[in-house]
Amino acid sequence: MAGTYARQARQTQQTIHAGGEWREAVSGATREILDPADATPLAVVAEGDEKDTDLAVAAARQAFDGGQGDWPRTPVAERAALLRRVADLLVRDREQLGLLESRDAGKTLEEGRVDIDCVADAFSYFADLVAGEAPGRVVDAGSPDIHSVVVHEPVGVCALITPWNYPLLQASWKIAPALAAGNTFVVKPSEITPLTTIALIDLLVEAGLPTGVANIVTGPGHSVGARLAEHPDVDLVSFTGGLISGTKVAQAAAPGVKKVALELGGKNPNVVFADACATDEAFDTAVDQALNAAFIHSGQVCSAGGRLIIEESVRDRFVAELARRAGRIRLGRGTETGVECGPLVSEQQRAKVEAYVESALAEGAVLRSGGRRPEPAPERPESGYFYEPTVLDRCHREMKVVREEVFGPVLTVETFRTEDEAVALANDTEYGLAGAVWTADAGRARRVAGRLRHGTVWINDFHPYLPQAEWGGFGKSGVGRELGPAGLAEYRETKHVYQNLAPKPVRWFAG
């Protein structure tokens, strides 16, 4: 068994990695990580604070400014080769990492495996991207005596703060481009689901990353995250999480005028036109994708299609079938065969979801499916944080459940009659991360996609993403982008180098 998994097996408290060493928290504090399927202890990790954060930032600063390995000045081909080695190690350890992600985050084992595949793809993509770039953009200065070139350099020490729903995937979207660009970093995973990010640091070391380049501090946002955002030796902060926390990160980073990238979630519309349901096959596909949009990973997805906006002429049939199938989704421990949906990540998250459903019913929503904790079963312990996939019909924009990000297995239903009304409903949100439009009319598909104010728009699909395409949103879904060339650009500074090959006196001043 690789060192990563041996560390997890003995439930070590040395989960802070700074300057090439695994260590306990300076304070000695620890946190128990619970399996959300039954609330039993899964691991014990160090509970870092500001002192641990300062040590990790100091290590990253030293590694960037000229420490062992000189990573920022390592040739691009060597950086790309290391990223490819990491991708190979992820493929090698896919089963163990997928299982660890499943148990830590509560998702199904198959989802965990797919996540690891996507993580490996991210490392491979950014390796290929930097390896294939030109060394700089030559600028024509209008003179043979002037050599002018625009180059990209690493931004410096990066603070990477990641969420609990896709722990390793979201970490990879930050770590891979940060390393590809030549940066050093300190990553703070969610205190709820840190285990696979800890494992990734071991793989980076195994791949040969120089000492001090990769650092991790396990601990809460109010101490570790806050200190990273404000730290004077941090050059960039990349945060994925909720709107309130993201706002605090931006405020903490502002006095230092740091680069900031924020991905803050969404309230994502899934717009279904009647012509997308014209045949039985098309109808079944649209229903199936609406279930996938709303309930994959129990709806704990920033791009979850939690708002079904459906044409009125097909709503009754569509919602009836949607509710019927939602009621048949098999809930249970993600590692159990046949389970389709796992638990919520914590008791706190389940209570939040329950409060949203209660408020919706009080405001006039009609419960079509779910809306409660399921009956216990062998694959679904009573102590687990399970909640039934819930369909709420007759919803409207004044409802809290329609306006705010629920982050749970809750689907709201709104209706429209015209294309303009559908677009208006879809755009009537403070967020703008992702959305989808379902129609058999290619012209309508392009028109509606063009009018939706969301960073990603799927046509006749939901949830796929490509590492080659940028990810991020409009409005309160954040600033900046991950993935794609723009995702790499977040971790770079741009420099213009102007060389005069035949300097002459300018004679501006007499003397």
User: Which residues are part of the catalytic machinery?
Assistant: 263
Sign of the dihedral through C-alpha 209, 155, 84, 110:
positive
Taking the mean position of all CA atoms in its chain, how far away is CA 156? 22
The rounded distance, in Å, linking the Cα atoms of 331 and 295 is: 11
DSSP-assigned letter for residue 225: I
Tokens at residue 25, please?
Answer: 């928290």
- Which of 19, 127, 147 is closest to 81 using CA atoms? 127
Q: What are phi and psi of 364, to 5 degrees?
A: 110, 0
CA proximity to 159, closest of 56, 27, 264, 26: 56
372: left (phi over 0), alpha (psi -120 to 50) or beta: beta
State the DSSP code for 375: P
Produce one character per residue of 40-49: b if its CB has 16 or more CB atoms within 10 Å, e if not: eebbebbbbb
For 225-311, where are the alpha helices, taking DSSP H only? Answer: 226-230, 243-253, 280-295
Locate 437 and state its tokens: 């439009």
**How far, in Å, CA of 442 to CA of 278, rounded?**
15
Strand partners, 271: 309, 437
**Cβ pair 263, 302 in contact under 8 A:** yes
CA dihedral 362, 365, 366, 368 (to 10 degrees): -110
What 3-state class would DSSP assign to 254? Answer: helix
Instruction: List, as one string, the DSSP characters of 163-191.
Output: -SSSHHHHHHHHHHHHHHTT-EEEEE--S
Distance CA 8, CA 21 (A): 16
